[in-house]
Structure 1
Amino acid sequence: MVFVRFLIFGFIAMTVVYVCLWFYSRSVRREKLEDQWDAERPDGISRDDFVKQGMEAYHSSLRPKLLLLVYVVPTLVVGTILFIINAN
């Protein structure tokens, strides 16, 4: 029962970390796009459209998918530690 509670609270904690990283990563990317638009001032496209297109490209890139490692790495570490402890 203690192990199940550990798993539940662990996944809740990893979800909180994931959501925080997701919001932070999006805000950093949005800020970079806004700075890029301010520096270049491309003709024929508004700032909002430029940022919207950049965020759509960001969502289809690899970087947001790498945030899922927040779940994978701790699970693998805890699983490896439990395996090593129980193997002896």
Structure 2
Amino acid sequence: MALIRLFFIAFVVLSIVYLSLSLYSRSRARDRLEGEWDESDKTMPRDAFVREGLQDYDGSLRRKLIWGVYIVPMALVCLTIYLVNFA
């Protein structure tokens, strides 16, 4: 029962960290795109340029690497539990 409680609390905390990190990263991408638009020759409207850039960001490797917030800590906890009990 304690293990289930540990994983539940860890999931909640990691979800908050993931959400914060995801929003921060998306905000940085938006700021970068707005800066690129300001420095470019402005061939398309700003909103369309930023929207297209954020669609590219949604499929990027950086966005996928943020999932490591869940994977790495949970894997370390599972490894620790295994090593303590079976090694």
TM over 0.5: yes
Counterpart-to-counterpart distance in 2, 1:4 and 1:62? 31
Extract structure 1 runs of 4+ deviating beyond 6 A. none
Identity %: 37
Extract unaligned runs of 5+ from structure 2.
none
Counterpart-to-counterpart distance in 2, 1:52 and 1:23? 16
Provide the aligned length of Structure 1 versus Structure 2: 87
- 1:8 aligns with 8
- 1:22 aligns with 22
Per-residue deviation, 1:42? 2.5
- 2:48 aligns with 49
Counterpart-to-counterpart distance in 1, 2:17 and 2:5? 18
- Residue identity opposite 1:51 in structure 2: V
My pick for the range that moved more, 47-56 or 33-42, is 33-42
Per-residue deviation, 1:41? 3.2
- 2:58 aligns with 59
* Alignment partner of 1:81 is 2:80: yes
Secondary structure in 2 matching 1:41: coil
* Alignment partner of 1:72 is 2:44: no
Counterpart-to-counterpart distance in 2, 1:77 and 1:3? 14
Taking only aligned residues, the RMSD between alpha carbons, in angstroms, comes to: 1.0
Counterpart-to-counterpart distance in 1, 2:11 and 2:41? 44
Q: TM-score scaled by structure 2? A: 0.94
